[in-house]
Amino acid sequence: MSLARRLTSLVLTAVIALSLAPCVAGAATGDDVRAIARDGFIFGYPLVLMEVTRRITTIARANGQFVHMLSGPTPPFRIVVAPNGDTRYSSAWLDVTAEPLVLHVPDAGGRYFVAEVMDAWTDVIADPSPRVPGSAPRDYAVAGPGWKGTVPAGVTLVRSSTNDVWVLARTRARPADGAGVITAIQQQYRVVPLSRFGDASYQPPPGILVDPDVDTGPTPPARVAAMNAQTFFSVLAAAMIKDPPRPADTPIVARLASIGVVAGKRFDPSALNGDGRAEVELGVHDALSQIEGYDAPSVPHVNGWRWTKDTGRFGTAYAYRAFIANTLLAANLPEDAVYPETSVDGNGAPLSGLRRYTIHFDAANLPPANAFWSLTLYGSDHFLVANPINRYTLRDTTLKRNPDGSIDVAIQHEAPTADQANWLPAPAGQFLVTLRLYWPRATALDGTYRVPAIVPAG
């Protein structure tokens, strides 16, 4: 079996088995149970989704072993929600329970990259990139919540509130790159236990190279959505042992305890009365509906485009955090990338392959990015859709410009009869489009820049 196939063979098959005794529920009953289950599911969704994603994407037992994607994602790749084709992923899961792990971020040779480091609740705790002067090449000691000690001179301490940490580095891909150019950079990412840092005899596990054309299967969000209340809350309770909630989460943690969801205890809905058992399932259903239909002032709409703001720093904005995890898991800090998205045209009608569309960028009003920008089309589930020319993304460096410097993009199911250089193929059904701005300028962060509407073409 190839490494690519093995990548997706390591999946969740059922509920995480807990040998601990079930927790007896408290006094919550009736509608209280439904509301607590709803709010508790929304609170715990990112942690459970990260756990599911970790299990799917871990193809080796070695702590901190990097997995590098050889090329951009294609439709079969359904592990990371809304994958991008602008960069090549390098992924490593760290367990810092025993001691800190030292992450080495290499010099990317002048090309854009961002080495995103996230805790288990999806907060970004470090983001070395060209935007941060002196951040690479550099070594970062990632330490868990219980570690006490000092790091060697020249090593930057990164403190995580959780013992599970995800490193997801993105290295820019260029059309002119020769074979192995990006791979050579990717293989310089490495992780070393702090106790072995500086030990020339230590050999970290080699990075694994995988093809992105992995088996299609249930996505991490689909796996979580398929969980019943007992499964979800049992996974959450188990995960909270290594990856504890923060002090600010005390109120929701106490509410969860009142229905029997306690860290390290198997959730047993039978401990609730008959109405309570039904209400907890209804609460989970309510939560999924709220996450999938999330809309709030924190996500403004301009010309049909929905802007995500304040990603990677969520605090107690649980609903927003769950929404981002569901649609843009591992979203960068806004200073590193912003992701305007639309599923409607300028008139508010859903985008559909039954119609033809255009989007026009004036030469003086191109997306404001210090690094680069791109347009990617996804199905309504935020995953890539197959098309006859295998084109999923249009990049600023390859788009054909009009004589005045402006850019027109055709978004449609059938191939244009004229020039196809700026054609973004659409499926026959509904779809959405994401504009990515890497290292966005101030006008992209303060709301000044307005993305042009996608408009019907005749």
Token pair for residue 430?
């509904």
Q: How far apart are CA 51 and CA 358, in angstroms?
A: 40
Residue 60, pLDDT > 80, answer no
CATH code: domain 61-204 is 2.60.40.1610
The strand pairing partners of 164, in sequence order, are 95
Token pair for residue 347?
């008139």
DSSP letter string, 178-234: PTTHHHHHHTT-EEEEGGGTT-TT--PPPPEEE-S-PPP---HHHHHHT--HHHHHH
This prediction has a pTM of 0.90
C-alpha distances out from residue 183 to 110, 168, 171, Å: 15, 15, 9
Q: Which of 368, 93, 35 is nearest to 242 (CA)?
A: 93
**How would residue 11 be classed by pLDDT, with cut points 50, 70 and 90?**
very low
Q: Which of 29, 42, 45, 39 is nearest to 279 (CA)?
A: 29
**How would residue 213 be classed by pLDDT, with cut points 50, 70 and 90?**
low
Q: Say which DSSP state 400 is in.
A: P
Residue in this structure with the two tokens 């070395």, named with its chain if needed:
128
pLDDT digit string, tens, across residues 101-144? 999 999 998 899 999 999 999 999 999 999 999 999 999 999 99
For the chain, what percent of residues have pLDDT higher than 70? Answer: 90
pLDDT digit string, tens, across residues 314-364? 999 999 999 999 999 999 999 999 999 999 999 999 999 999 999 999 999
CATH 3.30.465.10 fits 301-456, yes or no: no
Q: What is the pairing mode between strands 455-456 and 357-361?
A: antiparallel
Q: How far apart are CA 454 and CA 458, in angstroms?
A: 12
Q: What is the pLDDT of residue 80?
A: 83
Amino acid in the structure at residue 73: P
Residue 181, pLDDT > 70, answer yes
Q: What is the pLDDT of residue 208?
A: 87
Q: What is the pLDDT of residue 297?
A: 66
Range of weakest confidence among 140-149, 209-218, 400-409: 209-218
Q: How far apart are CA 125 and CA 117, in angstroms?
A: 6
- The average pLDDT across 175-192 equals 88
Secondary structure (H, E, C), 421-447: CCEEECCCCEEEEEEEEEEECHHHHCC
Strand extents, DSSP E, 80-129: 87-95, 101-105, 113-119, 124-126
Q: What is the pLDDT of residue 204?
A: 86
The strand pairing partners of 433, in sequence order, are 342, 377
Q: Say which DSSP state 48 is in.
A: H
- Domain ranges in the chain are 3-54+220-292, 61-204, 301-456
Token pair for residue 274?
């008959």
DSSP letter string, 236-265: HHHHHHHSPPPGGGHHHHHHHHTTT--TTS
Amino acid in the structure at residue 252: I
Which residues 6+ apart lie within 8 Å of 251 measured at CB?
Answer: none
Residue 140, CB-side half-sphere exposure with 13 Å CA sphere = 26
DSSP-based three-state secondary structure for 169: strand
Residue 300, pLDDT > 80, answer no
Q: What is the pLDDT of residue 216?
A: 53
**How would residue 206 be classed by pLDDT, with cut points 50, 70 and 90?**
confident
226-252: b or e for each residue (b if 16 or more CB lie within 10 Å)? ebebbbbbbbbbbbbebbbbeeebeeb
Q: Which of 213, 195, 212 is nearest to 204 (CA)?
A: 195
